[in-house]
Structure 1
């Protein structure tokens, strides 16, 4: 009996020891698991998310492709797009920044907005980043200099568009009129438009469509290197109005601005539905046409040539705009934001843009070959992309937003006939001085 008791005690002790070892093993396992989880959490916490504010993101597949390529090269950074509709992009972004929004990277739509953000210290200078990373600026072909304010650059260009002349081959063919050439004056453009205008009502075909923006008229005088829209003396604009007002009021070859405004016409709709034979417009429209034709939204048979010029000018004299990306001064992730900005302005991103028919700011022979070999690009349109000079549509200016609005208002009054050209220009000169005086 005593022996049985001792044996039982030994067995109980053995079971307890096994239990202790099992507990230790489970504890070590839990500790190991916890350490692993901790490492994963730590790894995840090191991943930075930056917000990228841009207009019409869902309508522009090139942005997603750029973000995907960037995240592949930078697995520690996630880019979260913040989409704003193009129609109210500037207004909403202005309100966001004024309210202290901390989004990191901002696509800047135009120069008046760019100037406004700089004057309010809402975007930062990129000069130190550019210098420290030894960024080669040569492929920008000097376009980056249009972004300098007081010698500093606050945005890196990723797009750089200029204006060309689009035309509908089928309308020309039906009218038995030769296609426009790459060296044409505005008077020749006017004569072509007269020949190509036909029909009425729903069957109206306009010889050309001139959009409602002031730039669609005013900036052809800028392209002629006679002045800029922030000079304050606007006499140099008269030759442009001398072309387009007679086309509207005498020839009836372009849609009146009042009709275009009242019907909320879009240049895309007018051209893609075959309602206009010619359309002066920026190169950004190439991407739209390629996308819409591929999607079956239009069957327009189109091509492009260089924009017309004034007598004494040269073929390829045009105007354009640069689209930069900037870093929000309130960003908490400026270094990560710079990596994305730098990528947006790189050759890799430029080729992605080119494949989508979007004109990149970074241009090399390889980039432009990619652009012109994109499916759907007209083979006879390549020469249109060779420019003599590209004047900036609206240079950076501290009063840019106010001047821009004033010029649009006065432009519309001239085009609807409420003011003569001389009176309208006099009003521009007067209001420019008032804007300058108010900002002192």
Structure 2
């Protein structure tokens, strides 16, 4: 179940494709998103996407309401439910619009296979100041200095904290751009004793191995070089991540996200219930805090503080702790550039952002600000979520590794859990754990390389 869940998450976050209707899913044939309306009198936008039903739920239905004179055709190639060769798919289907994960956006930009958006932005006087500014900078960097796409969604995170607990225990409140090491040092200033079902915790986290992965993503660390398949899990940066997580586990500052028997998710969350000082979370946590006010009996709200972070220790104005899955772009030579550009503008603009963040939304997958025009959500300001510049290097490496072997990350997480548990219990040192992890993941990478060679 764990394997299936991770593969599902990875496939979803790595997919790139386009618009349409479910009848054409897996056939490679276009299908109108509005089959009851004659397409001969309408403009047509051809989109490459991995799943027509998913596209319509996420994009197509909403776009059709606002652009009824544009028909959408989805091209969903047969296969595994993801697109791994965009060059071939674009050549075969000639789409006007593609939705790319960072890996393929970077590759296609480098190969000059995408349309530069800057002339369109200038022509329409499109206000890019409303878009997540750090995202624009990162997309330009990945595009070799040119802007080939815009991303309406990126699951960015912020450091949320219980300001009342910081005041009660006389601990200095978090500030923007704090690193994981600084965050964990703050967490250590809170009491670490008492019954686990009622005590105060410094930080909400899922434990050592997951904390290591969070630190690694923030810092842009890769455990295996995706180009050479050589393990890189025993570097000074990795050993520092292991040390930080092991020390946090030993000190008892992590709540381990314990589920309380007979309690709901909201009641089981120490942070939501005011018993954890900090949590690194997406915007959906704000929704949960609001939900607790009306769904948890005798709930006691607390003063919520937010700071931009965690930040990369090498550049505290940026973070790799961000997830981007769909960058909207127009293939070079597309036949309907204007319709594709209308689509991109709409899903990166104020109108859609307000729809996405509308009050009492049932959208449980809310992860990031779509537009700076949306200043608040669930009554909370969102600026902390887009102050840091996102860095997609870690996402790009993870995607490349998944294409080499879908099992490598699962293997690595399993190794982390086993070896760091030994280190936290005193059965081995952090250096010994690092060496063991390096040896094991190299063996797994060698196996993946051998399997890949056998396929050729």
Instruction: Return closer, same or farther for 1:326/1:245 CA change in 2, 3 Å cut-off.
Output: same
Q: Identify the residue that residue 74 of structure 1 maps to in structure 2.
A: 67
Following TM superposition, by how much is the alpha carbon of 1:240 offset from its aligned partner in structure 2, in angstroms?
1.1
SS in 2 for 1:411: helix
Structure 2: gaps spanning 5 or more residues: 1-35, 359-365, 424-432
Following TM superposition, by how much is the alpha carbon of 1:243 offset from its aligned partner in structure 2, in angstroms?
0.6
Structure (1/2) with the larger helix percentage:
1
Distance 1:190 1:338 in 2: 45
Distance 1:402 1:266 in 2: 36
Following TM superposition, by how much is the alpha carbon of 1:186 offset from its aligned partner in structure 2, in angstroms?
3.9
- Scaled by the length of structure 2, the TM-score of the pair is 0.57
The yes-or-no answer on 1:359 pairing with 2:368 is yes
Distance 2:256 2:289 in 1: 28
Q: Identify the residue that residue 7 of structure 2 maps to in structure 1.
A: none
Distance 1:162 1:376 in 2: 18
- Scaled by the length of structure 1, the TM-score of the pair is 0.59
- Cα RMSD over matched residues? 5.4
Larger Rg: 1
The yes-or-no answer on 1:376 pairing with 2:375 is no
Aligned length: 354
Following TM superposition, by how much is the alpha carbon of 1:389 offset from its aligned partner in structure 2, in angstroms?
5.9
Instruction: Return closer, same or farther for 1:325/1:309 CA change in 2, 3 Å cut-off.
Output: closer
Distance 2:276 2:338 in 1: 46
**Aligned counterparts, 1:241-280, within 5 A:** 241-248=242-249, 250-256=250-256, 270=269, 271-280=271-280
Contact 1:77 1:336 in 2 (8 A): no
Instruction: Return closer, same or farther for 1:44/1:431 CA change in 2, 3 Å cut-off.
Output: closer
Contact 1:183 1:308 in 2 (8 A): yes
**Aligned counterparts, 1:161-180, within 5 A:** 161-180=155-174
Following TM superposition, by how much is the alpha carbon of 1:318 offset from its aligned partner in structure 2, in angstroms?
1.8
Contact 1:229 1:394 in 2 (8 A): no
The yes-or-no answer on 1:181 pairing with 2:175 is yes
Following TM superposition, by how much is the alpha carbon of 1:228 offset from its aligned partner in structure 2, in angstroms?
7.5
Following TM superposition, by how much is the alpha carbon of 1:342 offset from its aligned partner in structure 2, in angstroms?
2.3
SS in 2 for 1:272: coil
**Aligned counterparts, 1:24-43, within 5 A:** 43=38
Structure 1: gaps spanning 5 or more residues: 1-40, 58-62, 82-92, 120-124, 362-366
**Aligned counterparts, 1:100-249, within 5 A:** 127=113, 134=120, 140-144=135-139, 157-182=151-176, 184-194=178-188, 195-211=190-206, 216-224=211-219, 230=225, 232=230, 233-234=232-233, 235=235, 236-248=237-249
**Aligned counterparts, 1:289-300, within 5 A:** 289=288, 292=291, 299=301
Instruction: Return closer, same or farther for 1:292/1:429 CA change in 2, 3 Å cut-off.
Output: farther
The range that moved more, 347-356 or 298-307, is 347-356
